[in-house]
Amino acid sequence: MKDERAGDSDPQWKYGIMWNESWETGHEQIDEQHKELFRLASDLIEACEQGSNVQTVDKALDFLASYVVRHFADEETLMTQSDYPAFEEHKNKHEDFKQTVAELARQFQESGSSSDLSHKINSIVIQWLITHISMLDRNLAYYVRSAGKQRSF
């Protein structure tokens, strides 16, 4: 997925959270997808904070939710291809998070509250991503690297 804002002249993101190199796992494809997740979460927060209409916020939420599903599927493919021993535990965390995102979407459909959604994306989604990436995804990348396993999706 191409990011229009990528490049040396990339401005500081006004909303959301900037990608931090300390969250890199060392697996190129996973890291690129993680960066995209943060961009999409930031786009969503921006749409909320700028008072965009419900359709615009809903679209940004849908982009994020869809990308989460695709990214998790790619990681799970990598895990099965490489006989990753912690596959079940990791996949369960993915399933929980997909439920969380679906629940946020449901709440937004009901309330239409952009400020509430923005707060939850910051406090729940971003924090979950940072914790998950820093621990489970890093462990996966380390395993794949050190065991000389299949490195691409």
Residues that bind Fe ion (CB under 5 A): 75, 137
Three state DSSP letters for the chain: CCCCCCCCCCCCCCCCCCCCHHHCCCCHHHHHHHHHHHHHHHHHHHHHHCCCCHHHHHHHHHHHHHHHHHHHHHHHHHHHHCCCCCHHHHHHHHHHHHHHHHHHHHHHHHHCCHHHHHHHHHHHHHHHHHHHHHHHHHHHHHHHHHCCCCCCC
Minimum Å distance from CB 85 to Fe ion?
A: 15
Minimum Å distance from CB 30 to Fe ion?
A: 8
Minimum Å distance from CB 40 to Fe ion?
A: 16
Minimum Å distance from CB 88 to Fe ion?
A: 13
By beta-carbon proximity to Fe ion, the closer residue of 59 and 151 is 151
Minimum Å distance from CB 65 to Fe ion?
A: 16
By beta-carbon proximity to Fe ion, the closer residue of 119 and 145 is 145
By beta-carbon proximity to Fe ion, the closer residue of 59 and 98 is 98
**Cβ of 138: how many Cβ atoms within 10 Å?**
17
By beta-carbon proximity to Fe ion, the closer residue of 24 and 75 is 75
By beta-carbon proximity to Fe ion, the closer residue of 52 and 130 is 130
